[in-house]
Structures are given as C-alpha cells and as structure tokens.
Amino acid sequence: MRVVFAASECTPFAKTGGLADVVGALPRELAKLGHEVSVYIPFYSRVRKQIEGEPKYVIRSLTIPFRYYNRFVGVVDGGRHDNVQYYFIDAPELFDRRELYGPSGGEYTDNAERFALFCRAVIESAKLIGVPQVFHVHDWQAALIPVYLKTVYAADPLLRGAATVMTIHNAGYQGKFPPNTTEQLLLPWDVFTMDKLEMYDRFNFLKGGLVFSDMLTTVSRKYAEEIQTPEFGEHLDGVLKRRAADLRGILNGVDYSLWNPATDGNLAAHYSPESLAGKKDCRADLLHAFGLEEIADATPVIGIISRLATQKGFDIVAKITEELARRDVAIVALGAGDPSYENVFRNWAIRHASSVAVRIGYDEALSHKIEAGADMFLMPSRYEPSGLNQMYSLKYGTVPIVRATGGLDDTIEEWDAVAGKGTGFKFAGFDPNDLLAEIDRAIKAFGDKAGWTRLMLNGMARDYSWTLPAQQYVKVYEEAAQRRA
C-alpha cells in the first residue's frame, strides 16, 4: 500500500513533542511490513541546517494560490532512510524561522497561511511524484488536506481514489482563526458552517479534518473514549460522537532502538532484566549530574521530564511541594513551559537544595539519564492522549506514578504486592491529596527490595514496540481505502 504522511514535525528533523516521535517511527515500521511510505514536513530552518551542501529539489516550483496572490514553493528531497522517503516543503518566507509555530511558545500570526500552504503543497507534490492510496495526516497543521481533497480537488481525476486518515495527537490544539480565513485559503464559504469547519465563529482546522477525513484515529484506546466527552473533547466531543464508528484508538509505540537500557549510549552503564547491576551505576551518575551525591541508597529518586503546563498536572504538584519535601525522597526534574511552573520548580530547588534539583529546558541525553537513573517517574497529567515517558520508564525499570487517564491508564497496571502483579502506581482523582497518597504508596513499596525488583521486572517485560500499532494502522488504511473505492 502507498501511504503519504503529512505532519508538522518528524524526528530527527524537527521536534517539539511526541508527534515528531510518532511520525519518525511509525513510517519505518510500516516500511518493514512492505508498504511504500513517504513523509512530508515543512523545510524549517532547523531542517535546512541538517542538509549537507545545497538542497536537492525534486520539484523546483509549485504554484500555491491565495486570495490576492500566489506563493511559489519547492520540494526538497530529504533522502531515503530505512526504506522511507522524506520530502520537505520549501517556502522560506513562511518556514525559514527560528521556531516551528511561534516565538516563546506563542503563535505566528500567519500560521493559517503557513499550514494551509503546506497542505496544498503536499497534495500538488503527490500529483507529480505519485498519488498515494492513503494520505495519513496528523493534527491541525495537516488537517486541511482532507478538506481540500473533498472541496477544491473533488473533481480532480488523479486524486479521486485517495483516502484520508487523520490522527488526533492532542485535541487541545486545534488551529483556530478568523472567519475570513475561508476566503484567504480559497475554500468555498459553504465549509464555514456549524456542521463543517466553523466553531464559535472561528475557522477551525482540526474540526475540518475530523469532518472530512474518511477515518479517524487517536493515540490510545482510553483517549478515544475520553475525547467523546465534554470534559476532554475541547468542544469537539459532539463531532467525535457523530463519527464514533470511524474512530479508532491505537496506542503509540516506542522506538526501542533509541530507548533501551541494554544499548543506550547516553548511560553510564548498561543493564537488562537479566542483569540489573548497571541501574545502580546509572542512579549514581544521575545524582552526580544534578549535584545530589549525598542522597542515601535507601532514598528513592523520583524523576520528572515534562512540558511544565497545567495539562501535565503541575498545578496539583505545586500544591504538594512542601509536603513532598518532608518525605525521604529526592526529586530530579527536567522541563520548560509555563513561566509560573518554571518558577515553582526553581524555588522548590532553592528551598530544598539537598533533595530537589531542577534543570529548566530540554536535554536529550539528560532525559535518558533520568529514565535510567531514577527509581520512579512522575506523570500526574490532567489528560494524556498517549504518553511515551511512562513506556520508556517501564523499559528502564523506573516505576511510573501516573494519573489514570488516556494512554497512562492503558499502559500502567496498578501494583499488587501480594500477587506480585502490576507495573506501577496510578490515582484516579485530579487532586493533590490523591497524588500525594499514591507517592506515599510508592515510597512504602520501595522499602521492600524483593517486591520492588519484581515490580521493575514486570515493567521491563512489557512490549510497547511499534509492531502491533503498525498492523492496526494498516487495517485502518485498508478500511479507509475500501470506503473511498
């Protein structure tokens, strides 16, 4: 089957979150199954820097029309890696910028034009390079591809058989713009209605993708259920309920070629379920990196790697920092985000420098050290569509403490010390006392070394590779293609 991926991020070229990891890993797994896969992303400045020499263009110029003018874009050959072909949409005036979406976590004012151009350029490129059986589009930035295909390109004989599958990685990010965006992007006004792209008098990219795609997926079974409710649906629950028969929850996978303590080049020592000794060396290395060398062996280390935001549960973490500091526990945290939460963590580390250490920002190597060196990993998210760090933690024998939501609920089984079953700790209520109680359970369990080793090994035995998800996606593609046919 021929599949085109269209997304705003893809590792190793451009990444701000888990979307990039999925678009980096899933096409490779599909290629292993014998499918022909191409990936399109914008030619950002950070992508351009990774190209050796002059870019090689497969298409020198495509004309992309807007209301009062045309833009001209090129398509750069990103090479073929692991049997996956990569293409970059080159529009320097729109994509050759420092950040992907906007300065300091904000948004560029022309994001509607930027990603509408990206969507049309992917369609026009496919017409010249090869029309796929399925366009697999990701999040709001690529959501207009199914909209354009069923409106502007509806009569194009080359594209008539192309099906569309849309994956929602996070329903909280939707791409909302003024009503006149409809005209600017040369879409017919009849798409700006309540049953199509309009929502609260805004032009909504994500809603358009949900309405016009042949099939929908999201990144865990639980999140597929949650987004059909007012609590998690971000005002799109009605649309998603209507399309429930077309929606599949497919859990994200883990790229174990990058995340495996037996082979990870970022670690002070390697270890595996057969030989856990190296984890002690990784813990010592982690504490040294954070300046906490005096932490006793009997004191558990809790790791945090996250975007510091309310979605990730840091409003309830902020309410228990002093209580947690009274426990016999060490905290190491890596992340950036909302300035108010950054300050919470900075001040926490200042007040309790002997047991709390924080790095504001992101460091790939350090994130691997935290996964390997920590004893526990904290993810108290308000909602978490899939989550990857809890799956990394399981592989590294680092026990997750999570809220029972989305992919966290799907992947973590509550520890039962009597039966010796389970992989972590999870709490249901979004409440600081519930979080603290679950951390206390984990601290108590850490004191039983034999039980804790069993708990670690349970997690390390779980397989969350991309093998099964890739097979599930193929079934979705086949269903979408049959419907289109």
Q: What is the pLDDT of residue 104?
A: 73
pLDDT (tens digit, 9 = 90+) per residue, 63-77? 999 999 999 999 999
Q: What is the pLDDT of residue 16?
A: 86
**How many Cβ atoms sit within 10 Å of the Cβ of residue 243?**
16
Q: What is the pLDDT of residue 485?
A: 83
Q: What is the pLDDT of residue 105?
A: 66
- In whole angstroms, what is the distance from residue 394 CA to residue 458 CA? 8
Mean pLDDT, residues 457-462 taken together: 98
Mean pLDDT, residues 79-87 taken together: 97
DSSP state of 123: H
| CA 253, 17, 216, 235 torsion-angle sign | positive
| Peptide bond before residue 385 is cis, with ω within 30 degrees of 0 | no
The pair of structure tokens assigned to 4 is 């085109």
pLDDT band at residue 61 using 50, 70 and 90 as cut-offs: very high
Contact 158, 188 (CB under 8 A): no
- In whole angstroms, what is the distance from residue 266 CA to residue 352 CA? 28
Domains and CATH numbers, the chain: 2-253+466-484 (3.40.50.2000), 277-460 (3.40.50.2000)
pLDDT (tens digit, 9 = 90+) per residue, 110-135? 999 999 999 999 999 999 999 999 99
Tokens 């024998």 — which residue? 397
Mean pLDDT rounded to a whole number for the chain:
96
| CA 173, 176, 182, 183 torsion-angle sign | negative
DSSP alpha helix (H) spans, 49-110: 92-95
Q: What is the pLDDT of residue 262?
A: 98
Q: What is the pLDDT of residue 18?
A: 86
DSSP 247-298: EEE------TTTS-TTT-TTSSS--BTTB-HHHHHHHHHHHHHTT-TT--TT
pLDDT (tens digit, 9 = 90+) per residue, 370-418? 999 999 999 999 999 999 999 999 999 999 999 999 999 999 999 999 9
pLDDT (tens digit, 9 = 90+) per residue, 8-54? 999 999 998 889 999 999 999 999 999 999 999 999 999 999 988 89
Mean pLDDT, residues 308-330 taken together: 96
Q: What is the pLDDT of residue 24?
A: 95
- In whole angstroms, what is the distance from residue 6 CA to residue 118 CA? 9
Closest CA to 63 of 53, 46, 48, 75: 75
Q: What is the pLDDT of residue 362?
A: 85
Mean pLDDT, residues 151-176 taken together: 97
The pTM score is 0.93
Q: What is the pLDDT of residue 106?
A: 84
Tokens 């022309």 — which residue? 110
Mean pLDDT, residues 453-471 taken together: 97
Per mean pLDDT, which range of 79-83, 95-99, 258-262, 361-365 is the poorest?
361-365
